[in-house]
Structure 1
């Protein structure tokens, strides 16, 4: 599997079949190598992966991430094998431990300690067949990154900075995928860009896993209050003209990323703005 330089990360739950097909055509038409999608409260990850594969030609389709509490390890391994067997080896399974509200509040499971839970899940997947299939982990902290390096093809960090990318690259070592998600807003009005960024980030700022990682990266508790400081928002959402945003994306590659998946930040339903950004950043 050749995971190219640039991919696209899109929250898919609010898009219907026609909108997803149009988006895939846009992403593929601009030459992006991969399309990444989450698993939240809407579409089930494997079923959506099959739809995205069936409606694209060459794109690598990646879950970012499939929740390990949503299906057992055997099912995840067989789903991964099935999608690759039926769609030309274009699916990469990103796995994550998710967050307490999504596990206990939504699904009614007990949220276990992340590292033992993920290690046990990978052990279960190994028992479901010995195929060498592409798995990566949603890894933020050093211990999860170490597990990703030891047991999978790499990591798909989310809501991070180039400083985190450099740390992750060092822990993962050579030969591992480091596919970093980066939010972007091609908008020269800084106040407008920051307002869009704060709205986009609001749901993440209540989740312990992200907050702890931001604190590790040097942001203060004060900077994470009241929607986030300007410094924090500017780090999480690259904004400005296309050249400025491209420079920010290159910082991840300089830090050691092997792949960057951009997530356009725009007003709700403004697909024209989304697609304009995808066009403007395709040659980053």
Structure 2
């Protein structure tokens, strides 16, 4: 049964699923998406993280379809959702399903948001507006990578949900956050044993992200070089930000994030297919290997 008094860390548990497909707004896919969410809850995952520019409206059907799993946005872009509207939607969902929704916020990227200006100041202003609208800090998390935003996640949110990072960044983030806040990094998983094929799938998927300075600057801050970012990413970079290989190797990579200080790891299956697919067989395999 749902327990609104449980802490966010307790509710999320150690593992969740990050997926663009779960935020689908296609009425023809509604039944399939809801069935997938129900199965993920039954498999033991504690959180569903809705990729892309998602909102409470995307989370609501999944929350209604399931019994107690936590659903979060990863992320809701501050440029494309007015804070008053976001606060009202969150309040409505909270009233109907207490404790089930987490508002994950981020500044997105200059290439993806025309309004992108002074992102840190804009995020502070957005949090000010959410405060004024009554959104509790413990019900929101930030897509934080750099030190200033991680400090903001510590001081004005329940914690951080970093995307496309490494165990080394996780340790760095934990040091800034301290013990109490949630730290829930995303980790991409390629369930392929052959190194050439696994890294090929990973490079294809990583290509877009290597054009976004927020990510590349973060890599450079944490020991990678310009040569690691060239030609689709070096093997060193691919192996750091993707878990691939047999079950033991994938399990080892996930465990490395926990050992570095993660409370929860949001697992994104990457298989070379459409980004909005629902890879249910792969999710079952993940549940088995992490059991």
SS in 1 for 2:39: helix
Larger CA deviation: 174-183 vs 125-134: 125-134
**Matched residue count:** 276
1:84 pairs, out of 94, 102, 108, with 94
| Structure 2 residue runs without a partner (length 5+) | 1-7
Work out whether 1:25 is the aligned partner of 2:48. Answer: no
2:202 pairs, out of 197, 200, 205, with 197
Aligned to 2:57: 47
Aligned to 1:210: 215
Larger CA deviation: 267-276 vs 170-179: 267-276
Q: Over aligned residue pairs, what C-alpha RMSD do you find? A: 2.0
Structure-2-length-normalised TM-score? 0.89
Work out whether 1:34 is the aligned partner of 2:47. Answer: yes
Aligned to 1:107: none
Deviation at 1:70, TM superposition (A): 1.2
**Distance in structure 2 (CA, Å) of the matches to 1:229 and 1:142:** 25
Q: How does 1:79-158 map to 2 (within 5 A)?
A: 79-104=89-114, 110-129=115-134, 131=136, 133-158=138-163
Structure-1-length-normalised TM-score? 0.91
**Distance in structure 1 (CA, Å) of the matches to 2:185 and 2:52:** 17
CA offsets 1:142-182 (integer angstroms, 9 cap, x no match): 11000110111000000000000000001001110001100
**Distance in structure 1 (CA, Å) of the matches to 2:143 and 2:276:** 27
| Structure 1 residue runs without a partner (length 5+) | 105-109
**Distance in structure 2 (CA, Å) of the matches to 1:260 and 1:9:** 9
CA 1:268–1:217: 2 relative to 1, 3 Å = same
Deviation at 1:274, TM superposition (A): 3.0
